[in-house]
Amino acid sequence: MTESERLERGYRRIVACYPRSFRRESEEEIVAVLMATAQPGQRRVSLAEYADLIRGALRMHRGPRLPRPLLVAVRLTYVGAAAELAVLTTLLMTLASLTSARIGSYPVISAAQWHAVLLGHLTAVAVGAPVLMALWAWMACANARGHPAGRVAFRVVHVIITLGVIAEVDPSLAQYGLGAAIAAAIMIQVQLAAIWLIFYPSADPLPYRPHRQLDAAQH
């Protein structure tokens, strides 16, 4: 084995730490650059090169390969999900006082009935919040990868959000008055901001299409 081959093997051993998707697409390219930038007569990977490559590998493992607007959109989605969790917690903690307040307003309906009605509403929120959160994250990823289902999902989610707006003005939540209105307004703003970011820039929502670009270049 020549010195050059030994050096290349050393580089490849470190590049093996990179994510598989990166290696599949760029291993040959980065090894070519490493070999081109190696010092004449260099036999092994230098400490500085080693540190630089490991740092690069860690960064690529840490961050998803999403366009920045989509990354922000995903974070906003988590903020929205956290807000929904906060609302859910508030509802659970105040369920007893809410039930008694309802009984005061509508004495015809029993406490057990009111409890059942409110629990039904809470169950919908408890199931809906994680489902919506997962849907948003998936939608962001699907859009980033250029999957047409991402756009279809967007339409569906848009309808869900609209329905959510209607649900927020549900009279059963009127007990919370201004607080509920503010919480709902914040959540809707967050969701709308995420929608806008997912489709930014509107002219080219799928900027990262390396394989498509390569295909286009080759044909």
Partner 1 sequence: MQEATFLILTALADGSQHGYGIIAQVGEISGGRVRLRAGTLYTALDRLRADGLIGVDREEIVDGRLRRYYRLTPAGRKLLAAEAARLHAHATAALTRLNLAGGVA
What residues make contact with partner 1 under the rule CB under 8 A? 22, 26, 28-30, 32-37, 48-49, 52-57, 59-60, 65-68, 144, 201, 204, 207-208, 210, 213-214, 217-218
136 and 148 Cβ atoms separated by less than 8 Å: no
Min CB(176)–partner 1 separation in Å:
41
CA 213/CA 210 separation, integer angstroms: 5
b (16+ CB within 10 A) / e for 115-125 = beebeeeeeeb
Instruction: Enumerate residues 6+ apart whose C-beta is below 8 A from 24.
Output: none
Output 72 or 119, the one with its CB closest to partner 1.
72
Task: Report in angstroms how near the CB of residue 98 gets to partner 1 at its nearest.
Answer: 46
Instruction: Say if CB 86 and CB 180 are below 8 A apart.
Output: no
Give the nearest distance from C-beta 215 to partner 1 in angstroms. 10
Minimum separation from the CB atom of position 72 to partner 1 (A): 11
Are residues 155 and 139 in contact, defined by beta-carbon separation less than 8 angstroms? no
CA distance 50 to 56: 10
Residue 3 or 28: which CB sits closer to partner 1? 28
Which of 14, 190 has the CB closer to partner 1? 14
Q: Minimum Å distance from CB 193 to partner 1?
A: 18
Closer by beta carbon to partner 1, 62 or else 155: 62
End-to-end CA distance of the chain, in Å? 38
Nearer to partner 1, 66 or 193 (CB): 66
